[in-house]
Amino acid sequence: MYGTDSMPASHPVLNERTQHLLKILVERHIRDGQPVGSRTLARDAGLDLSPATIRNVMADLEELGYLRSPHTSAGRVPTARGYRFFIDALLNLRPLDDRVVEILRQRIDQPVQNRAELARLVSDLLSGVTHLAGVVMLPRRNVVTLRQVEFLPLSENRVLVILVLNAQEVQNRIIQTRRPYNAVELQQAANYLNAQFAGKDIRQVREALLRDLREARDSLDRLMQTVVEMAEQTFETEPDGDDYVVAGQTHLMQCADLSDLDKLRQLFEAFNHKRDLLHLFDQCLHAEGVQIFIGEESGFVVLEGCSVVTAPYTVEGQVLGVLGVIGPTRMAYDRVIPVVDATARLLAAVLNAPQG
Amino acid sequence: MYGTDSMPASHPVLNERTQHLLKILVERHIRDGQPVGSRTLARDAGLDLSPATIRNVMADLEELGYLRSPHTSAGRVPTARGYRFFIDALLNLRPLDDRVVEILRQRIDQPVQNRAELARLVSDLLSGVTHLAGVVMLPRRNVVTLRQVEFLPLSENRVLVILVLNAQEVQNRIIQTRRPYNAVELQQAANYLNAQFAGKDIRQVREALLRDLREARDSLDRLMQTVVEMAEQTFETEPDGDDYVVAGQTHLMQCADLSDLDKLRQLFEAFNHKRDLLHLFDQCLHAEGVQIFIGEESGFVVLEGCSVVTAPYTVEGQVLGVLGVIGPTRMAYDRVIPVVDATARLLAAVLNAPQG
DNA sequence: GTTTGGCACTCTAGAGTTCAGAGTGCCAAA
DNA sequence: TTTGGCACTCTGAACTCTAGAGTGCCAAAC
């Protein structure tokens, strides 16, 4: 159910009782962070088995790689593999209270100026509700529709470009021109571009213009010359690449599992050097529903001891971005997963809603 | 020289030798973080005094509140007051190498789109050079000149407002209108506003418009009605309030002085809840040159064990903002102060330079 | 009067010891 | 297959001990 595509989890068959014991053990360990011993487990499991029996089962589970002992006479703790099985096969999700969902909805459905602000908002929300670090990724948008473009002369050779994209968002860009343009010229150029290209994909605009330019290099009238120079620079670079927003990192300082200062520092620096983490999130773009990376399953060393719970959100049926949380592997998955899931749906709903 | 206005440092007279010993002690403690004992100090001071003599001096300094012993048989460490005196009277600054200044200049003088990006850049720079947390504050600008305003109809009742302010910066705002306006109406309104108010302070614009509105409530023609509704919302709130950018917080994790995880967490959270810290920076706005807050001198409990080194930067002779670093009180002031100072000057230079 | 050596005293950090408690593995009996 | 019993292991906390660093004070020296 919640897997990673990269690692098809092939688990040997475990009988009912063994699974149940593993489940109780993991839940217990998530709750209080201590290794769980046979006596405790015997008490918690409600199976009326003696500790000795439990010990046999635990020994099996250890041999299979689901558990390990920190040392001879501590209890057992789940391994990454143990968590994997727990999540894939044993976890009972706690569905979110409708009231909670309603609160989330209200907090997401705030007026915002741009997608970065929305990402910040949702990221804060995730972090606040789960007490983990919230992450919202803004992916490269493969379809960027030009809604409107305007030019304003700033000074001698500087022109302010305003792009309205996707009916959602406004971008400013300041470009340097070869010669000064006056307001009228710019207005005409904008009118032309708007008339010709509004509603089109921004890359198509670029290509169409380049074609026009090549075809009619010499015979361009003054208007078209203006249009071409403006457009060349305006659409030169992709509006912006991938990016993400992290909130609530400080929550990570509180969980004892990550109290090693140096590890924590590395983690925080990973949040700043975004490149690596982006790669991880990229993988989630193509998956459906909630995805979970446990510890180094992510192939990302810094995340040792951490899990990442993500869900993609879709706009008009197309996966547009990924959001989620990062926290200690020992996190309350039963609560976190529904939150991440619901948040992704709510964000999608907001983004799909017709704009004012 | 580097003081705080709030706390006029009244120091009793210390003789030359005592001052010199205090200086050596503080320098030594900054270097290796350990309490300094009489034997060590006797060796380092180069004064050919016996440890016993040194002990007498240290006892005096302790009584005056410049030093304290962590416990009976450790050496002494400087108190906040000790640091204060060290900085005010004893510190030898290490002037920056010209090449270093040149590197700083190049890194600051990058093309940027807006002041937030510039702040980020400078903040990163400060943090990178000093290995402390860099902070750049963008203050409330008391004079905001309206350069140009444009309106673009987005959908039914939504209008995009573009404000060009101070010839430096562009702001977008989306406003909801009571009735739909078409492009022509909006264009006329913009033309009117630009003609009337370009180059004026934005608050004056607001006041002038409100006056007009009151005087001619009933007799407004359609154009003026449009103008008024647009302007009301456009200039309703101050464009934006104070804000600051922090970079390199992770450096703070490395210094042993701040290794208490809980303290660190509080500090990090203070960076997020910006309000408090802003107040501190506000105080520096009105001072000249480098300012230093030692530990709780700032009146800001979270900064216990930290010092803040700031310098205001000026544009056209007017103090516009503050930048600086936050780090452990035991920081290399002789290096940090010149860096902060130079950075402030360089940033001022960039901001004062005529724009393309 | 200042500086110094001497000396008794104090405190810490680290190393070693001990001990109770928790948990295990294995075995033989149920 | 489950269980009780038992010997064994390991940790963590408490305790002790000690070397080392540093102090304060005093009386002698400069």
Print pLDDT tens along chain A (356 aa): 565 544 545 666 788 899 999 999 999 999 999 999 999 999 988 888 999 999 999 999 999 999 999 988 888 999 999 999 999 999 999 999 999 999 999 999 887 767 788 899 999 999 999 999 999 988 666 677 888 888 888 777 778 888 887 766 777 777 878 888 888 888 888 888 888 888 888 778 878 877 777 776 666 677 777 777 777 777 765 555 568 889 999 999 888 777 778 888 888 988 888 877 888 888 888 888 899 999 878 778 888 889 999 999 988 777 888 999 999 999 999 999 999 999 999 999 988 775 54
A74 touches strand C (CB under 7 A): yes
Please tell me whether residue B90 adopts helix, strand or coil conformation. Answer: helix
Yes or no: say if A244 and A185 are a contact pair by the CB < 8 Å rule: no
Q: Is the pLDDT of residue B126 over 90?
A: yes
Q: What token pair was written down for B246?
A: 């922090």
CA nearest neighbour of B88 among B340, B293, B323: B293
So what's the pLDDT on residue A319?
83
B110 interfaces chain A, CB cutoff of 8 Å: no
Nucleotide nearest to A74 (CA to C1'): C23
- More confident site: B305 or A331: A331
A182 interfaces chain B, CB cutoff of 8 Å: no
Nearest protein residue to the C1' atom of D1, measured from CA: A53
A55 touches strand C (CB under 7 A): yes
How far lies A318's CA from each of A139, A286, A313, B34, B98, in Å? 12, 10, 8, 59, 54
Segment A146-149 long-range contacts (CB within 8 Å, at least 24 positions apart) = A146/A197, A146/A198, A146/A199, A146/A200, A146/A201, A146/A202, A146/A205, A147/A198, A147/A199, A147/B154, A148/A194, A148/A198, A148/B152, A149/A190, A149/A193, A149/A194, A149/A197, A149/A234
Residues sharing a CB contact under 8 Å with residue A211, sequence separation 6 or more, in sequence order: none
In whole angstroms, give the CA distance from residue A108 to residue A127. 13
Beta strands in chain A (DSSP E): 67-68, 77-78, 133-138, 146-155, 158-165, 169-176, 243-247, 291-294, 306-315, 318-328
CB pairs under 8 A between A and B: 82
Q: Is the pLDDT of residue B6 over 50?
A: no
- Positions of chain D reached by protein Cβ under 7 A: 2-5, 8-11, 20-26
C-beta atoms of B356 and A152 within 8 A: no
Longest Cα separation, chain B: 93
A73 touches strand C (CB under 7 A): yes
Collect all residues of chain A within an 8 Å Cβ-Cβ radius of residue B233: none
Provide the Cα torsion B37, B326, B130, B108; round to 10°.
-160
Segment B27-33 long-range contacts (CB within 8 Å, at least 24 positions apart) = B29/B77, B29/B78, B29/B330, B30/B330, B30/B331, B30/B332, B30/B333, B33/B256, B33/B257, B33/B330
Angle, CA A195 vertex, CA A189 and CA A200 arms, to 5°: 110
C-beta atoms of B269 and A250 within 8 A: yes
Longest Cα separation, chain A: 93
Nucleotide nearest to B41 (CA to C1'): D22
Pick from A150, A158, A261: CB nearest B356: A158
Q: B134: which strand partners?
A: B247, B325
Beta strands in A80-142 (DSSP E): 133-138
C-beta atoms of A150 and B152 within 8 A: yes
Q: Residue B199 carries which DSSP code? A: T
Nucleotide nearest to B50 (CA to C1'): C4
Least confidently predicted of A210-219, A225-234, B81-90, B149-158: A210-219
In whole angstroms, give the CA distance from residue B50 to residue A21. 71
Distance of CA B68 to the CA centre of its chain: 31
Å between CA of A73 and C1' of C18: 19
